[in-house]
Amino acid sequence: MNIHEYQAKALLRSYGAPVSDGQIVTRAEEAKTAAGKLDGPVWVVKAQIHAGGRGKGRFAEAEAGEKGGVRLTRSVSEAAEEARKMLGRTLVTHQTGPAGKQVGRVYIEEGSGIARELYLALLVDRQTSRVAFVCSTEGGMDIEEVAAATPGKILSFSVDPVTGYQPYHGRRIAFALELEGQQVKQCVRLMGQLYKLFMEKDCEMLEINPLIVTDVGDLKCLDAKMGFDSNALYRHEDILALRDESEEDPKELQASRYDLNYIALEGEIGCMVNGAGLAMATMDIIKLYGAEPANFLDVGGGATKEKVTEAFKIITSDENVKGILVNIFGGIMRCDVIAEGVVAAVKEVGLQVPLVVRLEGTNVEKGKAIINDSGLNVIAADNLSDAAEKIVKAVKG
């Protein structure tokens, strides 16, 4: 789960990390009062979306010469005016895709004087199973570009979880970032704060780009991107409260409400399967027969009829879906429950595309009878490859 920059900065602040003062604005009328609480002479107005590259991004239907999602202003009224212009509009950056993202919140921040822009990130290094620091003197630009053009300018190392963060880690980063004097001490302290935050809150990613040296020579976090391990959110109510559902895929959001393991994909065949392993195998075999899965969906072990109905509705609401494959191996999950869910969902939302059903295991005969008696136009399949072949044929002819 990702959070907004302003939320990440509040977390950073609570761990003692240096960030600017700011105010969040969701309605244009609030902008002037909010900006008025901050000191100038520069106010930075920043669109809050879960995507980077806002500064270089463009608003849909932008006026000629109009700036992107990060704007420097020189008065409270100018800041309020720019905030008003951003709210409700769609911002397109290289990370949002061409559709862009709608700006529902704008952050107004006290402007900083910048001497240097640096790059810093913490992430989970899956190769070493450790938390790694990544830093570079080339801040303010995409780290992917730096990695491609000048890989020598990136320092990366992981931290041994037994010792945890040690001051020498911070000094190593300070040296790589060519910091001097008081900045070295600030760096050692800041890296410790970031590591602590990362571990305590079960982060997946924490990126400060840019980390700046201010015009008076201090370190400051000017931007912040933070992602958390969704599997650990149950023990972080404070983080879960920061979730912005408007940033999520509506189908995935609906699925999470029903505790379904659902991930939207690009293909044309909707899949309803029980068990992650069988779901993967089903996706593989669809590909083998020449089509692409439209989703990963594991309805889980003890799914109810309501849950199955909801899962089926989510699949059919995807307009890319040209056919549906239900593949259930009834163990804990009973085939008749799946059948009842499918029939109930079709009665509610109709069925515009071919449907292949393969049932096996507990109560399979009962399940098949429910589907046969329903009058639904279902293509029955006997095994996995038969099912995949039939649905691909039904879709592609």
**119 to 158: interface string for ligand GDP, x by CB under 6 A:** ---------------------x------------------
Residue 327 contact, options ligand GDP, Mn ion, none, Cβ 5-8 Å cut-off depending on partner type: none
Residue of the chain from 12, 48, 50, 52 that contacts ligand GDP (CB under 6 A): 52
Number of residues that bind ligand GDP (CB under 6 A): 16
210 to 2, 120, 138, 140: CA distances (angstroms)? 18, 7, 9, 5
- For position 295 contacting Mn ion by CB under 5 A, the verdict is no
**82 to 121: interface string for ligand GDP, x by CB under 6 A:** -----------------------------xx-x--x----
**Active-site pick, 6, 107, 119, 258:** 119
- Binding-site positions for substrate read 274, 331-333
CA–CA separation, 144 vs 45, rounded Å? 26
Q: Tell the residue number behind the tokens 């020598």, with chain if given.
A: 152
Residue of the chain from 18, 170, 192, 210 that contacts ligand GDP (CB under 6 A): 210
CA atoms 236, 238, 239, 240: torsion sign: positive
- For position 2 contacting Mn ion by CB under 5 A, the verdict is no
Contact (CB, 8 A) for 298 and 275: yes
Contact (CB, 8 A) for 231 and 198: no
Select from 309, 377, 317, 316 the least CA-distant residue to 337: 309
Select from 2, 380, 19, 9 the least CA-distant residue to 212: 19
- For position 44 contacting ligand GDP by CB under 6 A, the verdict is yes
Identify residues 196-235 at the interface with Mn ion (CB under 5 A): 209, 223
119 catalytically annotated: yes
Give 181-212 as a DSSP string.
Answer: THHHHHHHHHHHHHHHHHHHTTEEEEEEEEEE
Select from 289, 285, 306, 307 the least CA-distant residue to 298: 307
Residue 53 contact, options ligand GDP, Mn ion, none, Cβ 5-8 Å cut-off depending on partner type: ligand GDP
- Binding-site positions read 46, 53-55, 109, 112, 117, 209, 223, 274, 331-333
Helix (DSSP H) and strand (DSSP E) numbers for the chain: 13, 20
262 catalytically annotated: no
**156 to 195: interface string for ligand GDP, x by CB under 6 A:** ----------------------------------------
What phi and psi values does residue 84 have, to the nearest 5 degrees? -60, -40
Q: Please list the active-site residues.
A: 119, 207
The binding site for ligand GDP (CB under 6 A) comprises 44, 52-55, 70, 72, 111-112, 114, 117, 140, 209-210, 222-223
